[in-house]
Structure 1
């Protein structure tokens, strides 16, 4: 009986200690620091780059700010850290950064084998190539035997190799450690094609002396999902980052904008809208966030379509059609569960 009592006391102590142990995670570190550390990839127009005012801007950067708005109530309380694609895994595991919006392709081997989590996809795309118009490349088959530049060790490399192998064709691979190096090699004529996502290619093309001399093929080697990454093992932080992405998508589903969200929080008769914006329910409490975390995301950063349009779409220099990056009801792949 004494042994059983001792065991029960020990179990009770373990259960009591569990919330405290869980609480010592990324959320607490961010709150204590008063700043969210967000890792971004190599400078890429439309995704993460410095503007003329030396301010970080881009699709991935906006999601850094959305996470800060949710957790700290201020989208500007974020340190943008340009760590590059290859370094992001270790930076997350070591705690150097809290989240990475380096926008890696969501692959099962990464999600399960690199001690990182992909909370949710926030961009659907694929791999294609940019070539010079003078070469008159109309399809991937036209690049038989050609040299294709790409980033080293990326999913792009494996995807392209698998496609050409399946077709019984060959190509010459020329990898580089950074996307900037890939772009420079292509611009100097070291390769016949530059391979990566269409949105990235469009951004780099804008920086060339004569952008109209280059074209991006419409064909895709694959259809991929990109998303932010967090370190494995912190379910609370994983839930927060996923919920912030869903909040931006839900804003579009409910017709909310940065300008209309505050009024909707007070007057909407839609329970899901009120829960998203913090005027009903305890969603914020469940995640360790303020009740109005969703309202702060939408009012300070915007809905998904607003983030897309200003960085990549109709309000940007690239003016890339959303394609898959629309709500399901509009023919895209995005949907948010009810709040």
Structure 2
């Protein structure tokens, strides 16, 4: 009898241990779950179908797509690019579980946007005009990408900085009343750049602040990498000191520039850069500092330099983001990228 009782005790203990282990073990569904949705991506209107299909292929990682659909032309006028508001794209992204937050950009002449923002009446009109865009479709919010104020000179930048912050605060509050997301896209703030953005005010106003982490070297300057880990370190140190990390998205490049001394600089996607490298028979090589791919080739009497970004280059930058608690990234742009980038982004 005692032996039978002892056996029952041992059996009960074994069953209890099994139950406890099962409770502590991760559910199979979670263990087999796809990567978390930590990526947003811009959808270029000039490659709308290709970018749309790219988004659907990677829907498990994308939480938001921002079609590059609108341009602010005046305080009371927003113009659509070709394909703007395409219901098939909106509905297809929604069916894949992706939010649709279109981008409104602007290419106004110097001073025009600043004049709108610093005039309270014009600013209020502009906010209402933008709200008309988000009400016109089943959008989930707006992404504001206003860049012409970035180089504002010394005499005016303090006023323009305050005016943009006031505009963002008003717009984001109105969007939130409608249950919509407010995204603000800004240039990096470093010791030499980005002073026109009031990061603390924008961080309080927005749901997400996208920092354009590209064009360290750009079409108007000398050849070089679009980003480096050292540059990202400076950007993230400043940004996370002023904006909660959970609100930040780091914009990553999926493109590059093709420079020639004294000539025209060309934009190239990763796909175009790799096709060009293969066509010229140039070996793949990485810059040892930035871990960015680059190559040179001859065209007529000129020697051109191409610097671009791929999965290897982005993988070199991600440890900086992890160190500062940044999980969300924004890709410029969908269907530009190295396919190997997606598993890399899953490790952010």
TM-score normalised by L of structure 1? 0.28
TM-score normalised by L of structure 2? 0.27
